[in-house]
């Protein structure tokens, strides 16, 4: 029997028949399953799915509401005897107290475990970024004390697992693109700053710069920056003005570090002088602005937009590497180390004649990530998505080559990759 219940009422042992709402917001690769894993349950409850249908013939039913509690009669004091005739008082051990999750914990977690925390943090951070962009449109000053806790939580998530938060922010939808782009660039800037071994204060400033560098886009009409055709010269001038608008607005607040202001103004400058707004060259561009140029471009290239599909992450790295005159080569090498040779979301072909998506990095050997095969080339069919740690499979499988969705005529790859990345594994 099928029964419709709220997601927050789902329990282990229930058979999930259907998740309501947009397919893109569903957190699992498959929609029908017996919920037996606590991490799966947490991921479902942290998702945007509000209602589900369960099959009570294949799993447990929703527990009936408990009856109203009755007052408990307290025995007369003279009947409180122990070891003798009369009433006895049963003493129960106190229930164990579960320790709440500490969002600032630095304890290492797997990608699968950290994605539960990252999902919650991304949802909370998107709401905060919406408020920030709204405040900018209204001319309200941005207070650092509102942003510092967000930066600290994102930084902590990256230290627990450097790839989980990034995997969640890759699941962008068009209505939230600006906010998720800001969060993704913030994450990339923090990871890159850590890879460059910058000081803790510089790491925080790098994250803050990534978060705020595009706030000037709040004053640019959406039809200009998300237009599905070439911009007119006038429209392009409006889009480019977001750098000076952000710099001027944040300067007026009087709280922003100079390095953050510089990134807002110069993250579109290029080493060969072809960037804007000032056409700076080489060392005229600050360190953080050179970092931001790579992080911003990489996320823009790999993001799905209304009018185009994003590039495969591995291909995006190759394209950045080929544009040697535009980006700092030493910073790019550090960036590649930070995101991995096969970044999360990359499509690869395995020796076992299967297509797979990269779901986790191996920090000891970037050539041996964790992959999730999903399609058999021999049998020409989808297969059950199970993770393979290539560093711990004793050579049973390996990556043969990077692949592109276009090479396999996968028009639906953005939605498919989103489902695969969101799978609990």
| CA distance between the termini of the chain | 27
Beta bridge partner(s), residue 33: 16
* CATH number assigned to the domain covering 111-339: 1.10.3210.10
**Are 247 and 261 in contact, with CB atoms under 8 Å apart?**
yes
Task: Check residue 173 and give its pLDDT.
Answer: 64
Cβ atoms within 10 Å, residue 419 = 22
CA proximity to 386, closest of 29, 23, 15: 29
Q: Look at residue 204 in the predicted model and tell me its pLDDT.
A: 94
- DSSP secondary-structure letter at 409? T
For 56-75, how does the pLDDT look when each residue is reduced to its tens digit (9 = 90+)?
888 898 887 666 555 555 55
Question: What pLDDT sits at residue 142?
Answer: 87
List the chain domain ranges. 2-55, 111-339, 347-422
- Looking up tokens 């640019």, which residue turns up? 220
- Residue among 277, 379, 371, 269 nearest 327 (CA): 269
In tens, the pLDDT along 116-159 reads 888 899 999 999 999 998 888 888 888 888 898 999 999 999 99
Burial code (b: 16+ CB inside 10 Å, e: under 16) for 330-358 equals ebbebbbebbbbbbbbbbbbbeeebbbbb
360-364: long-range contacts, CB 8 A cutoff, minimum separation 24 = 360/110, 360/111, 360/163, 360/387, 361/162, 361/163, 362/389, 362/390, 362/391, 363/162, 364/391
Nearest CA among 335, 390, 351 for reference residue 367: 390
Residues of the chain with pLDDT under 70: 22-31, 65-99, 171-175, 226, 422-425
Residue 163, pLDDT score: 78
């Amino acid at each position: 029997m099928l029964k419709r219940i709220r997601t927050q009422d789902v329990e282990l042992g229930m058979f999930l028949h259907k998740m309501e709402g947009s397919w893109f917001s569903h957190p699992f690769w498959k929609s029908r399953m017996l919920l037996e894993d606590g991490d799966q349950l947490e991921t479902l409850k942290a998702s945007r799915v509000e209602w589900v249908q369960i099959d009570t013939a294949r799993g447990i039913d929703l527990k009936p509401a408990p009856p109203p509690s009755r007052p408990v009669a307290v025995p007369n004091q003279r009947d409180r005897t122990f070891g003798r005739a009369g009433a006895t008082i049963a003493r129960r051990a106190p229930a164990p107290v579960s320790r709440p999750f500490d969002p600032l914990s630095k304890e290492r977690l797997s990608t699968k475990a950290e994605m539960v925390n990252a999902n919650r943090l991304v949802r909370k951070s998107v709401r905060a970024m919406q408020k920030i962009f709204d405040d900018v449109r209204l001319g309200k000053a941005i207070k650092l004390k509102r942003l510092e806790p967000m930066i600290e939580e994102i930084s902590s998530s990256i230290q627990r697992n450097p790839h989980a938060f990034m995997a969640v922010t890759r699941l962008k939808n068009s209505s939230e693109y600006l906010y998720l782009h800001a969060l993704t660039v913030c994450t990339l800037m923090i990871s890159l700053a850590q890879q460059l071994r910058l000081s803790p204060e510089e790491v925080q400033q790098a994250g803050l710069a990534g978060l705020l560098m595009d706030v000037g886009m709040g004053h640019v009409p959406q039809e200009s920056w998300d237009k599905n055709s070439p911009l007119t010269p006038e429209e392009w001038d409006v889009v480019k003005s977001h750098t000076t608008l952000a710099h001027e607005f944040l300067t007026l607040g009087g709280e922003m570090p100079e390095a953050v202001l510089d990134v807002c103004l110069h993250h579109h400058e290029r080493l060969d002088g072809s960037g804007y707004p000032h056409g700076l060259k080489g060392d005229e561009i600050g360190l953080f602005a050179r970092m931001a140029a790579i992080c911003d471009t990489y996320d823009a290239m790999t993001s799905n937009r209304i009018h185009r599909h994003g590039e495969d992450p591995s291909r995006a790295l190759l394209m950045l590497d080929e544009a040697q005159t535009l980006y700092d080569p030493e910073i790019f090498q550090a960036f590649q180390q930070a995101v991995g040779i096969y970044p999360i979301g990359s499509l690869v072909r395995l020796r076992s004649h299967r297509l797979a998506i990269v779901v986790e990095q191996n920090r000891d050997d970037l050539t041996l990530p964790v992959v999730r095969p999903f399609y058999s080339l021999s049998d020409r069919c989808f297969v059950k998505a199970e993770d393979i740690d290539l560093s711990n499979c004793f050579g049973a499988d390996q990556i043969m080559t990077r692949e592109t969705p276009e090479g396999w005529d996968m028009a639906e790859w953005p939605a498919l990759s989103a489902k695969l990345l969101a799978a609990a594994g």
